[in-house]
Structure 1
Amino acid sequence: MLNQLQRRLDALAAQDALSLLFNPRRGVERETLRIAPEGRMALSGHPKALGSTLTHEFITTDFAENLLEFITPVSDSVEQLMASLSDIHVFTQAHLGDEVLWPLSMPCYVEDQNSIPLADYGSSNIGRMKRVYREGLKNRYGAMMQLIAGVHYNFSLPDAFWQHWSEGDQSSAYMGLLRNYRRLVWVLPYLFGASPSLCGSFLGGRGHHLPFEKRGKGTLFLPYATSLRLSDLGYTSSAQAGLRIDHNSIDGYIRDLRQVIATPSEEFAKIGVKVDGQYRQLNANLLQIENELYAPIRPKRVTERGEKPTEALERGGVQYVEVRALDVDPFSPLGVDEDTVRFMDIFLLSCLLLDAPVLDNTQWSENLANYQATVLEGRKPGLMLQRQGQPLAMADWFAELLPVWQRLADGLDAEQGGDAYRQSLAVQENKMQDSSLTPSARLLAAMDDRDNGQLGLALAQQHRQALLAASYRRWSPAFFEQETQRSLAAQEALEAEDSQPFDDFLGQYFQDLPQDVA
């Protein structure tokens, strides 16, 4: 593997392109529930001081009115990225009164999922569509699952870099990254998984096959688990379990995703689409829209107004990748720390630069099995994975990858100065050598005789105090207040200009779906 990497690095060095490779661009999206001081989820509406969830650049909501989502601008500086994320948190916490931000990926203290308030995006057609989409998610999978929070990591290389890439076009290179990510994604739940436990109420009486142990008043956990969020109890869908979206070309990816969106589902048809004048979902197909695909990584391009994600990909190719396999870091007020960000740069560069053979169904199944084994038993001593049909110890596979990551860390540090990337990699190497250093093990150790809810609330209060005491690092309160007013005015303008009936709007949106499916 090191020879593969060096060959590509030498080719880029010959074109004076290493500085472009070692200055990647990244952005973070962090989700978090608003929680009342006693620990229950907040039932209040989205604070007006935080602006419009439809049009605000940095602060919105995900599934529920109380499930905040923070979005940083794209940055070529890790320090600037973290400063942006910190400022968003600081401003938000300052306008939440005594509410706190839930620090765990898995929700707790939700007595009745029918009380979960769906996100409200106003009366414009696009706002109503976002609301109906969430109504569909609730009816298809249950509202509780939609409260699970994660961190998404958006990664790309500068546009100028691709002028020096001689091994296919930009989209092909990013699709190769996706294939290698699928092969190596088991690394992420081991290193960063932080949901080895959940509140018993999360299951809501659903059956399961997992040998849970109990702790505290109602916490269930698996002793070697890393991320129940990524298990079939978490943010997954049995309806999507058999989906195989092509990762071997961007054309195949677009084709397969469009076909799934256009394929009717007998199960979801039972829900109904529009019943007694009220929409229960956008349609009764396997996926309502592209965003419903629960994948640990997605190829992306920024969409233009009214454009579907697949249309954007077809128009301009892959612009960046969205990593979706990171749990919220419960020990960071920001949900992610700088070491994680730096390792993600190293990891994704390795996925880009290593050879990426095509994925067939056998390899797809093997990759998925490795992923789930690490999710459920990642800290089990001597855990074995499969590589090309042969057993391989997870620790040995990690050791094989380490020289590649070290070479990339050295290149990033040489370009950016200091040794922060090498230090970040050392942190991850220590986790592999000692599983007690992983977030999942640390969370169980910190729980002691408490349950998930008690620990989560204690951490949330600590983080609240830290955010209220923090200084702004990039922006100012006036900057956010201006964005609040701009976003509110932008939503009002959208609502004022909408004259098309909502039924016609939806019909037009879905009119180009392929019809040649069963």
Structure 2
Amino acid sequence: MLKTMKNLFTKQELLKGNFGVEREGLRVDPKGKLSEKPHPVIFGYKMCNPYITTDFSESQLELITPAFSSTKETYKFLNALYDIVSMELEDEYLWPQSMPAIIPEDKDIPIAEFCGCEEGKIAREYREELLLKYGGKKQLISGIHYNFSFNENIIKKLYENSNKSSDYKDFKDDIYLKVTRNYLRYRWLLIYLLGCTSVVHESYNEDCVKQLDEISKGSFSNEGALSYRNSECGYKNKIDLFPSYDSVEEYVNSINKFIDEDFIDSHKELYAPIRLKAKDPKSLLKSLVSDGINYLEYRSIDINPFEKGGITLNDLHFINVFNLFLLIEDESSYENWQQEALNNQNIIATRGQHDVELIKDGKSISKVQWGLEILNKVKVINDELQLGYEDIIEETRKRVEDYKETYTYKIIEKVKEEGYINAHLNIAKKYKDLAYNNRFKLEGYEDLELSTQILMKESIKRGIKTELIDRSDNFISLTKDDKIEYVKQATKTSKDNYVTVLAMENKVVTKKILQKSNIRVPDGSEFDNIEDAISEIDNFTNKPIVIKPKSTNFGTGISIFPQGASEEDVTSAFEIAFKYDTTVLVEEFINGKEYRFLVIGDKVVGILHRVPANAVGDGVKSIRELIEIKNQSPLRGKGYKTPLEKIDLDENAALFLKHRGLDFDYIPKKDEVVYLRENSNISTGGDSIDYTDDIPQIFKDIAVKSSQAIGANICGVDMMIDDYANENSEYGIIELNFNPAIHIHSYPYIGTEREIAKEILDILEFI
């Protein structure tokens, strides 16, 4: 088959598929005790949120990625989910380990609560039955479930190049059944490589703990332990059950037989290391027979405490090539292969750190020898198909050859030093700090505008299905129940009509509309060519003015002269403005400070004062050097992907400094603030300061009136106010913005962070 694969497929085809991860995890308090708080309300109804729900316990979160075509996308989304959840846990942490933290007796474990609907009642009753049957403590074991299917084109090409002795559905089922059988045979290797549950806390199941040795305060293990989650002390059926994997029909019949004989109550209770998944999960067994196998779910993977999302990208990559090995590898005819595979699992789980002997087709073989044999075959596949995973396979080989390279060895050493609870709490605290530092980002989507990332993040948190329609255009769709909305750049929505957008783009039209509503705007003139503008230059020389393109955004092409300017500088300002538009406006300069009011619907949801790009002197460095250092801040970036923008030392800045007798090589005195431009846009390097709670209501009402006058539901209102604390102060609306950035209000440089994305979802009627 390897030769066939090589002839039929490119590397890109083989590495594509459908990959998803479900990561469970307990919420714990600052002392490492199982949380008694209910599931956070912000995540919505548990049965409706496709990304964040609960498992057995109210305190047991389950993070679910969509299916992506690459493992890298899956990995990044999983990390993004961790950040989203972590930021909503108040005085709590997400436990970074599969085996539980400090847990109470069964009667005090909070079982997951659901709505009063029939589906919710069934879900609750099922959990109550599991509690009685298996005990609550084992139910709290968490893990990584890896969901996978091949790219459909791979299966279709393989079918077209087969003898077509069966129909396509049966052919596809046979492929997944072969992978399933081989996964069961070789799962011991993944358990060894990814196992990380070699220690349990004293509050865990008493029958297990009493067989172990205390290695540090409250921490128990045995020599060589690797994965208690995959051992007899883990979560398993009362007796060993071996379904048939010869065909889908026989698989379904064997499960129905287990149910008929009262070994299990439903297919969900079969705790196999791998599950066949169907197109219709609500009628899984019937759907398997009628529709075939949709994908496979691997359930043997422990949470990796050393990785925020619970599994490394390299391990996901390795599983990807391991899947090809499972497909290509010829099967043994050994009759008792399932019992042998389970025995190997138990040996690895309880003593895998030692060079134990496993059983292969009834014969003894050392763990290292067999592991290297498998990896050699994986390497041949990688080399022949040119997959490019040489380094990852070599890294994996080192873990097989030296148990001290395994995650489980590293965690047990950490526990010996810090104790079970403290070791994991310290890790959880570190990840929560990382989540805070990344709070304005959506991992995997950092190339998008930051406002789009923030809206996507808020939508995912609330269980609104979020799909990226056009990456380069920051175009997304939001879906909940039967409702769907399309949004571009976070604030271009169906709530604003096209003529409103056009009116706000045109500053002359904007001024006339506002004047008709008796809203103060600056007086001014407009010119369609630079010759006409220059001909009237005497009217503008040495007067407080603003020169700007007619249709501009983000402060581009604007020159501001609050004290007036020479004929030469006014001419330069006209030349700059005409680079951005064929029509240029000259307006009176209104005294005061500029404030950005963000209006959504009929209310102001955020107000910022934006401080122009500036350098603060140290008496040693030049403006050029100071700006270079300031631009190194992680808050500053390019293209609206960070809360602040990098400062450009462009021609506008040069002109502004020249007007003050300075240049970029000027060395400011210690603590001297040197501004680089008059306009304070964040897009040109300005700093943002939140004033939402400080500005009097009268100015907020003016902002809302301005937005409503032009017919906008989402609008950025730029207002000059002479003295914001004085309700009778002079003011002027200098601009309305149809696509206002929300990140500057969500994450200001100074002041309260505002939940602007929530307000957008509210006006879109999602919450």
Q: TM-score, normalised by structure 2?
A: 0.56
- What is the rounded CA distance, in whole Å, between the counterparts of 2:110 and 2:272 in structure 1? 25
Cα distance change on mapping 1:16 and 1:233 into 2, 3 Å: closer
Give the structure 2 partner of residue 511 of structure 1.
none
Deviation digits for residues 378-436 of structure 1 (CA, Å, limit 9, x no counterpart): 1113x111111111111111121122211333467x46xxx4x2222121111111110
- What is the rounded CA distance, in whole Å, between the counterparts of 1:365 and 1:448 in structure 2? 35
The amino acid that maps onto 2:190 is L
Among 351, 354, 361, the residue aligned to 1:377: 351
Give the structure 2 partner of residue 128 of structure 1.
121
Percent of aligned pairs with the same amino acid: 26
User: How far apart are 1:461 and its partner, in Å?
Assistant: 1.0
Among 391, 399, 409, the residue aligned to 1:441: 409
Give the structure 2 partner of residue 221 of structure 1.
221
2:257 equivalent to 1:259: yes
Deviation digits for residues 325-375 of structure 1 (CA, Å, limit 9, x no counterpart): 000001111111101101111212211111124563x22221111111111
Give the structure 1 partner of residue 360 of structure 2.
387
Worse-superposed segment, 165-174 or 422-431: 165-174
Check conservation: 1:17, 1:161, Cα contact below 8 A: no
Worse-superposed segment, 350-359 or 371-380: 350-359
Give the structure 2 partner of residue 72 of structure 1.
65
Deviation digits for residues 480-514 of structure 1 (CA, Å, limit 9, x no counterpart): 43351648x96999xxxxxxxxxxxxxxxxxxxxx
Give the structure 2 partner of residue 310 of structure 1.
285
- What is the rounded CA distance, in whole Å, between the counterparts of 2:133 and 2:72 in structure 1? 40
- What is the rounded CA distance, in whole Å, between the counterparts of 2:260 and 2:480 in structure 1? 32
- What is the rounded CA distance, in whole Å, between the counterparts of 2:354 and 2:82 in structure 1? 35
- What is the rounded CA distance, in whole Å, between the counterparts of 1:35 and 1:47 in structure 2? 13
- What is the rounded CA distance, in whole Å, between the counterparts of 1:482 and 1:440 in structure 2? 36
Deviation digits for residues 245-300 of structure 1 (CA, Å, limit 9, x no counterpart): 10122111011011212323xxxxxxxxxxxxxxxxxxxxx222211111111111
Q: How does 1:395-414 map to 2 (within 5 A)?
A: 395-410=368-383, 414=386
Deviation digits for residues 447-472 of structure 1 (CA, Å, limit 9, x no counterpart): 23332112111111111112221232
User: How far apart are 1:189 and its partner, in Å?
Assistant: 1.7
Q: How does 1:50-61 map to 2 (within 5 A)?
A: 50-61=43-54
Give the structure 2 partner of residue 149 of structure 1.
142
Among 80, 85, 90, the residue aligned to 2:83: 90
Aligned length: 451
Gaps of 5+ in 1: 1-7, 265-285, 494-518
Check conservation: 1:177, 1:356, Cα contact below 8 A: no
Check conservation: 1:219, 1:451, Cα contact below 8 A: yes
- What is the rounded CA distance, in whole Å, between the counterparts of 2:393 and 2:202 in structure 1? 35
User: How far apart are 1:139 and its partner, in Å?
Assistant: 0.8
Gaps of 5+ in 2: 446-452, 466-478, 484-767
Cα distance change on mapping 1:486 and 1:26 into 2, 3 Å: closer
- What is the rounded CA distance, in whole Å, between the counterparts of 2:331 and 2:180 in structure 1? 9
Cα distance change on mapping 1:129 and 1:480 into 2, 3 Å: farther
User: How far apart are 1:322 and its partner, in Å?
Assistant: 0.4
User: How far apart are 1:12 and its partner, in Å?
Assistant: 3.1
Check conservation: 1:215, 1:449, Cα contact below 8 A: no
- What is the rounded CA distance, in whole Å, between the counterparts of 2:364 and 2:293 in structure 1? 34
The SS at the match of 1:308 is: helix
Check conservation: 2:209, 2:220, Cα contact below 8 A: no
User: How far apart are 1:437 and its partner, in Å?
Assistant: 0.8
Give the structure 1 partner of residue 583 of structure 2.
none
The amino acid that maps onto 1:262 is D
- What is the rounded CA distance, in whole Å, between the counterparts of 2:459 and 2:17 in structure 1? 30
The SS at the match of 2:390 is: helix
Cα distance change on mapping 1:452 and 1:227 into 2, 3 Å: same
- What is the rounded CA distance, in whole Å, between the counterparts of 1:208 and 1:218 in structure 2? 10
Cα distance change on mapping 1:179 and 1:209 into 2, 3 Å: farther
Cα distance change on mapping 1:86 and 1:262 into 2, 3 Å: same
Cα distance change on mapping 1:439 and 1:183 into 2, 3 Å: same
The SS at the match of 1:240 is: coil
Check conservation: 1:12, 1:18, Cα contact below 8 A: no
Q: Larger RCO: Structure 1 or Structure 2 (Cα < 8 Å, ≥ 6 residues apart)?
A: 1
Give the structure 1 partner of residue 235 of structure 2.
235
Give the structure 2 partner of residue 274 of structure 1.
none
Which protein has the larger Cα radius of gyration, Structure 1 or Structure 2?
A: 2
Cα distance change on mapping 1:390 and 1:31 into 2, 3 Å: same
Among 34, 38, 50, the residue aligned to 2:31: 38
Q: Which is richer in strand? A: 2
How much is the aligned-residue C-alpha RMSD, in angstroms?
A: 2.2
Cα distance change on mapping 1:373 and 1:74 into 2, 3 Å: same
Give the structure 1 partner of residue 667 of structure 2.
none
Give the structure 1 partner of residue 317 of structure 2.
342
Check conservation: 2:18, 2:69, Cα contact below 8 A: yes
Among 332, 353, 370, the residue aligned to 2:328: 353
Give the structure 1 partner of residue 272 of structure 2.
295
User: How far apart are 1:16 and its partner, in Å?
Assistant: 4.4
2:471 equivalent to 1:472: no
User: How far apart are 1:145 and its partner, in Å?
Assistant: 0.5
- What is the rounded CA distance, in whole Å, between the counterparts of 1:47 and 1:402 in structure 2? 44
Worse-superposed segment, 117-126 or 131-140: 117-126
- What is the rounded CA distance, in whole Å, between the counterparts of 1:492 and 1:124 in structure 2? 19
Check conservation: 1:384, 1:391, Cα contact below 8 A: yes
User: How far apart are 1:208 and its partner, in Å?
Assistant: 7.5
Give the structure 2 partner of residue 509 of structure 1.
none
Give the structure 2 partner of residue 497 of structure 1.
none
Q: TM-score, normalised by structure 1?
A: 0.82
The SS at the match of 2:158 is: coil
- What is the rounded CA distance, in whole Å, between the counterparts of 1:164 and 1:463 in structure 2? 43
- What is the rounded CA distance, in whole Å, between the counterparts of 1:116 and 1:472 in structure 2? 33
